Copies of this chain bind each other. A is one copy, B any other.
Amino acid sequence: MEQVALGIDIGGTNTVFGFVERKGNIICESQIKTQPKDSDEVYFGRLFPAIEELSKKLPAGYEWIGTGIGAPNANYYKGTVELPPNLNWHIVDVVKLFREKFSLPAFITNDANAAAIGEMIFGAARGINDFIIITLGTGLGSGIVSGGKLIYGHDGFAGELGHVVIKEDGRDCGCGRKGCLETYASATGICRTVFELLCNRTTESSLRNIPFSSLSARQIYDAAVAGDVIALEAFEYTGTLLGKALANSVTFSSPALIVLFGGLAAAGEFILRPTYKAMEENMLNIFKNKVKIVLSQLPESNAALLGAAALFWSEYNKH
């Protein structure tokens, strides 16, 4: 029998799940709409039958031995998802629900930590014991690995680098404070930066025709590829602030590698080059020229699913 883990990524829009071999091959996968307005009871009432259906499609010779879950506001220690900002859930003991339903071991962690484990087991951080993953999506998430282990902290909430304050009295953040890194360095942050630049510059730009509410990081990327000066400056600015923040983060855990992951990382060199340049320019001497920054090596469409499955395999490997 070939063993497989079920990996589940609970996102704000879709929940993607699939059976993954120890080496990272996805055997079969499926998805449901997350439906943010659903209560947790209604949501799991839809998810569990969908999983059972997928498990019937698992070819003969495969044995499902456990489950790994990535979710917003997930707590690895408690097995819970607690008051996720974009879902209509209360405090849900997700691990308990899964163990009771399927009588198999289950583990949960937040999206960024799952991505970190995914890179460690299947991606860019294979064989690297000290690295940081930065997920650049709607917000900025991070997972910090030190000595081969994720840093969870005393309560399971470590690795919130998106909420390091980088500008005194800076941009309003969803957390209620001002100037957090994610208000600058994220898919949302770069959109805000474009509007700041459209205000400050007189340069022509295709981005002047797009309202704030519909501008996306993808459109900024497309404009940058077409040579739009505002779009190029927005990437430069975003990367510079991210690079400075990473130089500060390096003093903490001295990683050998930083992996950029998620929507904004898809902009490749546009974000990578200014980030690396600013990090090196602002780096303490003893860390200079030691830290690589690379893009995620997980396939973008399945990265979160692979990260969730990797969580299970990394726990399984411990025993």
Report which A residues bind B (CB closer than 8 A): 128-130, 144, 146-147, 149, 151-161, 163-165, 175-177, 244, 247-249, 251-256, 282, 284-287, 290
Contacts and interface: CB of A to CB of B under 8 A. Distances in A.
A282 B177 contact: yes
A101 to B, nearest CB: 28
Contacts of A290: 154-155
Copies of chain A in the complex: 2
A244 B287 CA distance: 24
Given A146-B158, A154-B130, A175 B252 contact: no
Contacts of A244: 165
Counting chain B CB atoms within 10 Å of each CB, the highest count among A160, A251, A253 belongs to A251
A252 B254 contact: no
Given A129-B154, A160-B284, A161-B251, 20 more contacts: A128-B154, A130-B154, A130-B158, A147-B149, A151-B253, A152-B254, A154-B255, A155-B256, A157-B254, A157-B287, A159-B251, A159-B252, A159-B254, A160-B251, A160-B286, A161-B252, A164-B252, A165-B247, A176-B285, A252-B252
Contacts of A285: 175-176
Contact of A154 (B152, B252, B256): B256
B284 A155 contact: no
Nearest to A290: B155
B157 A146 contact: no
Contacts of A160: 251-252, 254, 284, 286
A282 B244 CA distance: 20
A154 to B, nearest CB: 4
Given A152-B147, A159-B252, A252-B144, A165 B130 contact: no
A247 B164 CA distance: 8
B164 A254 contact: no
A253 B252 contact: yes
B147 A151 contact: yes
Contact of A175 (B147, B165, B284): B284
A152 B256 CA distance: 12
A158 B247 contact: no
A180 to B, nearest CB: 8
Nearest to A166: B248
A281 to B, nearest CB: 10
Contacts of A147: 149, 151-152
A161 to B, nearest CB: 6
A249 B247 contact: no
Contacts of A256: 154-155
A38 to B, nearest CB: 24
Contacts of A253: 144, 151, 153, 158, 252
B144 A153 contact: no
A188 B15 CA distance: 54
Contact of A165 (B155, B176, B252, B282): B282
